[in-house]
């Protein structure tokens, strides 16, 4: 017989205590404000945590957080509740599409599909809406295949929809104003960020075959090396993540500096995310010298 310790949920990596903290803190902040009223500082912290939940969702898809199947599935459902959308969508949209094609011409949500090869504030703001428009048909086709070939997995995906929509219905029935302010709007903020990160990481990167050479340059993604990485689970170290999709997020910094930083065009190795956004999206809208330059071959001829 297994000991009691062996029956308890076990994390794969101790670093994911940070993930658990975020998963607990977000609903706690929402609940406190639901009862005691709006607090600007707590609300700002809650909005930041919605960014973290999106990254946790991403990381949990690539490498399951727990060693037990039941605990991982419970985490799927908890992320679904917190994010305001079923967590299964990362499989067809991200793993089977984005990681397979790496910003290439067959990547359904490639940034240069929408309005050309751009990198500006309007593109950043619109990309989540444009991506959702083309990704949802992908989800529906994927669900149809599951329904035909893996009915158990299909039912699990439908359960996630039931959990999400049921939670919204319950909270809206309790108090629709509080539900919108403390739950639904923060969730939409987090979902926008989740899809907009694709634009941050890939706009003006090289989506051609030349941008992803196995032994040469890897210019299909942008990296951010600033102080937000420890707070957002190294989400900025994107090339290393693409090259090692099953590596734990805590290993990405070492992989980035040891193997990939030198193989990426210098223009794609940025410092901080916030300074980049201010420079490119704000100053770049006024002064051309602050704008990024596309690395796509058509722009370099």
pTM of the model: 0.93
- Tokens linked to 156: 């699990």
Tens of pLDDT, residues 113-154: 999 999 999 999 999 999 999 999 999 999 999 999 999 999
Per-residue pLDDT at 190 = 97
- Does the structure show a pLDDT above 60 at 159? yes
| Helix segments in the chain, DSSP class H | 4-7, 17-36, 40-62, 69-83, 90, 99-101, 121-149, 151-174, 176-179, 185-202, 228-231, 238-243, 252-255, 273-277
The answer to whether 49 and 23 have CB atoms below 8 angstroms apart is: no
What confidence category does residue 272 fall into, taking pLDDT thresholds of 50, 70 and 90?
very high
**4 pLDDT exceeds 60?**
no
At residue 111, does pLDDT exceed 70?
Answer: yes
Average pLDDT, integer, range 156-161: 97
Q: Give the mean model confidence (pLDDT) for residues 191-220.
A: 88
For the stretch 244-269, pLDDT in tens is 999 999 999 999 999 999 999 999 99
Reading phi first (left if > 0) and then psi (alpha if -120 to 50, else beta), residue 84 is in left
CA dihedral 272, 278, 280, 283 (to 10 degrees): -150
Instruction: Give the chain's mean pLDDT.
Output: 94
CA triplet 192, 195, 196: central angle to 5 degrees?
75
CA angle 137, 142, 147 (to 5 degrees): 125
Contact 219, 205 (CB under 8 A): yes
d(CA 63, CA 12): 9
Q: Where are the domains of the chain?
A: 12-299
- In a 13 Å sphere around the CA of 236, the CA atoms on its Cβ side amount to 21
């Amino acid at each position: 017989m297994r000991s009691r310790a062996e029956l308890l949920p076990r994390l794969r990596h101790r670093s994911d205590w940070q993930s658990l903290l975020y998963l607990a803190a977000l609903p706690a902040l929402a609940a406190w404000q639901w009862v005691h009223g709006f607090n600007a500082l707590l609300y700002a912290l809650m909005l930041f945590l919605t960014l973290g939940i999106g990254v946790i969702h991403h990381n949990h898809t690539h490498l399951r957080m727990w060693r037990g199947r039941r605990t991982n599935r419970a985490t799927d459902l908890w992320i679904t509740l917190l994010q305001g959308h079923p967590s299964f969508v990362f499989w067809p949209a991200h793993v089977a599409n984005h990681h397979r094609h790496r910003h290439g011409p067959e990547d359904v949500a490639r940034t240069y599909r929408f309005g050309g090869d751009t990198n500006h504030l309007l593109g950043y703001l619109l990309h989540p809406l444009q991506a959702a428009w083309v990704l949802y048909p992908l989800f529906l086709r994927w669900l149809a295949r599951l329904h035909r070939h893996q009915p158990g997995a299909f039912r699990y995906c439908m359960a996630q929809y039931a959990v999400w929509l049921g939670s919204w219905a319950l909270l809206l029935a309790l108090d629709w104003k509080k539900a919108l302010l403390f739950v639904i709007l923060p969730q939409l903020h987090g979902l926008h960020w989740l899809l907009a990160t694709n634009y941050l990481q890939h706009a003006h990167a090289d989506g051609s075959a030349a941008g992803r050479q196995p032994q040469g340059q890897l210019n299909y993604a942008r990296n951010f090396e600033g102080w937000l990485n420890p707070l957002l689970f190294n989400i900025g170290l994107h090339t290393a993540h693409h090259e090692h999709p099953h590596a734990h997020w805590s290993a990405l910094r070492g992989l980035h500096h040891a193997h990939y930083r030198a193989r990426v065009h210098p223009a794609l190795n940025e410092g901080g995310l916030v300074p980049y956004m201010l420079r490119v999206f704000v100053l770049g809208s006024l002064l051309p010298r602050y704008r990024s330059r596309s690395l796509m071959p058509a722009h370099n001829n």
